[in-house]
Amino acid sequence: MVKEKKPLRIGLCGAGIGGLAAAIALQRAGAQVTVLEAAPELGEIGAGIQMTPNVSRLLIQWGVADVIGDNLVEFEELNMRKMDGTKVGYTKMMPDMRRDLGFPWWVVHRAHLHEGLVKVAEKEGARLLINSRVTSISYQSSPHVTVTTSSGATHTFELLIGSDGVNSIVRRTLFPYVKPTPPTSNCAYRAIVPYEQVRQDPVARELAEKLTMEVWMSEGSYIITYPISKGKDLNLVLAHHVPDNRLVDQVEDVSIEELRETYKDYDLRIKTVVDMIESVQRWPLLVTSLPSWSSASKNIVLIGDAAHSMTNHMAQGAATSMEDGAFLGRCISSVISGHITLADAVSIYETERMPKAHFKQQLSFLNGAIWQLPDGPAQEARDAAMKPELERRLFLRSSNLYGDPKTVLGVYGYDAGRHADEAIFQFLRGRRRGDWRVGRGIEKETYDDVMGLFMPEGRKGGARGGED
Ligand SMILES: Cc1cc2nc3c(=O)[nH]c(=O)nc-3n(C[C@H](O)[C@H](O)[C@H](O)COP(=O)(O)OP(=O)(O)OC[C@H]3O[C@@H](n4cnc5c(N)ncnc54)[C@H](O)[C@@H]3O)c2cc1C
């Protein structure tokens, strides 16, 4: 009699965007997935989120895009402006992004994205358990991991994935001494204003004539706006430095006067929209740096903000979480087909994904600095580097990283599934030869290359860790 193979039990701690994406990828790979979520109901708070082509490809592949439908909004163009409204940079989004990368650059309300991910995760067969806050994790005394939840229930898995965000209990269990920190006093407000309200205002209505993304750059602050919810709402992310340069590590309530004061000197059109915001909270921008993403015995691994929270300036936090899930899904598929062990899968994931996430953390920080430069030589060099795209001339590089060809290909053109397949292939080939190489070392080169673009002569290479 043929003995039936036991399914591989994988537990996810956290049903955020990263946890749900991983649930879909892992369930598709053939694992038996249980997602433990602390909240009493499934959902996402907050406003809009960008789903750049590196992850719109996943939403399409997994069928999530079909579920979300028109709530995934594609916009025509990106305008980069100074705070007085002067246009300094430009990226044609539609149809160019789809044509160049094969996938759209979408913007969406977080609630719509989350709902789409939940529906598909459930359809794929993942078990989603709410009211299940993980309170303790036992993983050293056996190859399996047993977690206990706040209700006293226990669950045992071959692999536990920490997808529980920036305050992750899974990360704190593995690395109790690590604390996510804000690199500077830079924080963000998030807000939504109905397009109808913008259209009715004689000054602001010009901003609602077509569906665009606008970035308004100033010293120490910026505003980015884009449409969400079938183009009915305008989403705003407003970066700023806390007045006393305090380091903020928790969400804070802020008076509406403080918000208005920060943006009072911006172009009247966008200032008018900011004045329509009724209430806001200040979101910290925390960065997590870890020496490893897994337990020594490779039965626990981290994804998403739990592993690599980053500043928001490249719109890659959630996107990177989703890539993690897609990558792990391919590795787990190779475990289930018997080509590699679970420990191999976790090692391949960490080896390949850690430099990628680290690079995006650096790049996001850098883009925040680019968008918040004080007027002067560096800002002039930034604007000069964007000029060819504004004049619709051919260009090879730009300090507008949302349109810079090399960054676009490397970040927004990245295919996590393909990367995983290549890494597994290299691993299997290397194992035969006994020379599997750890790390690839291309990221620093790309970072320095981008840095060199906008820094004035004499300061090149000097902005790493500089003021954001
Ligand atoms: C202003 C701003 C703008 C941003 N814009 C973008 C953008 O445009 N594009 C983008 O890709 N990213 C963006 N991000 C980043 C993005 O929001 C995060 O990176 C992303 O939400 C992280 O997803 P996650 O699933 O890893 O964690 P989370 O979304 O934090 O999810 C963690 C989940 O785990 C649950 N949980 C926590 N503890 C436990 C426990 N003990 N037991 C069980 N469950 C638990 C939580 O309830 C939650 O559901 C932005 C961030 C900010 C601040």
In the predicted model, what is the mean pLDDT of residues 285-314?
97
Spacing, Cα 197 to ligand 1 middle (Å): 29
Residues 350 and 433 in one domain: yes
Q: Quick check: is 463 in a domain?
A: no
243 pLDDT band (50/70/90 cuts)? confident
Q: Which of 40-49, 211-220, 227-236 has the lowest mean pLDDT?
A: 40-49
Residues 34 and 85 in one domain: yes
Distance CA 269, CA 71 (A): 26
- Residue from 148, 189, 286, 305 whose mutation best tests the ligand 1 pocket (most atoms within 8 A of CB): 305
Q: Quick check: is 464 in a domain?
A: no
Q: Which of 204-208, 276-280, 297-301, 460-464 has the lowest mean pLDDT?
A: 460-464
Say how many domains are in the chain: 2
Residues 204 and 325 in one domain: no
**Does residue 323's CB lie within 6 angstroms of at least one atom of ligand 1?**
no
In the predicted model, what is the mean pLDDT of residues 358-379?
97
Beta bridge partners of 149: 134
Q: Quick check: is 345 in a domain?
A: yes
Q: Quick check: is 2 in a domain?
A: no
**Does residue 34's CB lie within 6 angstroms of at least one atom of ligand 1?**
no
Please confirm whether the linkage preceding 95 is cis (ω < 30° from 0): yes
Domain end marker among 284, 309, 329:
284
Spatial neighbors of 311 by CB under 8 A, at least 6 apart, are: 183, 186, 285, 287, 361, 364, 365, 368, 468
pLDDT value, residue 450: 47
| Residue bearing the CA closest to ligand 1, atom 11 | 318
- Residue from 12, 13, 17, 240 whose mutation best tests the ligand 1 pocket (most atoms within 8 A of CB): 17
Spacing, Cα 88 to ligand 1 middle (Å): 32
Residues 326 and 384 in one domain: yes
Q: Quick check: is 466 in a domain?
A: no
Residues 102 and 14 in one domain: yes
Q: Are residues 183 and 176 in contact, defined by beta-carbon separation less than 8 angstroms?
A: no
135 CA closest ligand 1 atom index: 41
Q: What is the DSSP letter of 75?
A: -
Instruction: State which of 44-53, 302-311, 457-466 shows the largest mean pLDDT.
Output: 302-311
Residues 142 and 203 in one domain: no
Distance CA 93, CA 75 (A): 7
Domain end marker among 257, 284, 311:
284
In the predicted model, what is the mean pLDDT of residues 392-418?
96
2 pLDDT band (50/70/90 cuts)? low
Q: Quick check: is 3 in a domain?
A: no
pLDDT at residue 206 greater than cutoff 90 = yes
Q: What is the DSSP letter of 439?
A: -
pLDDT at residue 454 greater than cutoff 80 = no
In the predicted model, what is the mean pLDDT of residues 35-44?
94
Spacing, Cα 282 to ligand 1 middle (Å): 15
pLDDT value, residue 262: 97
Distance CA 114, CA 104 (A): 19
Distance CA 175, CA 167 (A): 12
Which residue would you say has higher pLDDT here, 58 or 455?
58
Residues 227 and 297 in one domain: no
The 10 Å Cβ neighbour count of residue 312 is 23
pLDDT at residue 447 greater than cutoff 80 = no
pLDDT value, residue 468: 30
Residues 165 and 206 in one domain: no
pLDDT value, residue 449: 53
Spacing, Cα 64 to ligand 1 middle (Å): 18
**Does residue 17's CB lie within 6 angstroms of at least one atom of ligand 1?**
yes
Residues 171 and 57 in one domain: yes
CATH code for the domain in which residue 27 is found: 3.50.50.60
Residues 230 and 114 in one domain: no
With pLDDT > 90 as the criterion, what percentage of the chain qualifies? Answer: 88
Spacing, Cα 335 to ligand 1 middle (Å): 28
Spacing, Cα 121 to ligand 1 middle (Å): 17
Domain end marker among 284, 299, 334:
284
Assign residue 380 a region: left if phi > 0, alpha if psi is -120 to 50, beta otherwise? alpha
Residues 107 and 49 in one domain: yes
Distance CA 261, CA 246 (A): 18
Q: Quick check: is 367 in a domain?
A: yes
Residues 279 and 373 in one domain: no
Tokens 């005394």 belong to which residue?
141
CATH code for the domain in which residue 205 is found: 3.30.9.30
Q: Quick check: is 261 in a domain?
A: yes
The parent domain of residue 410 ranges over 9-179+288-454
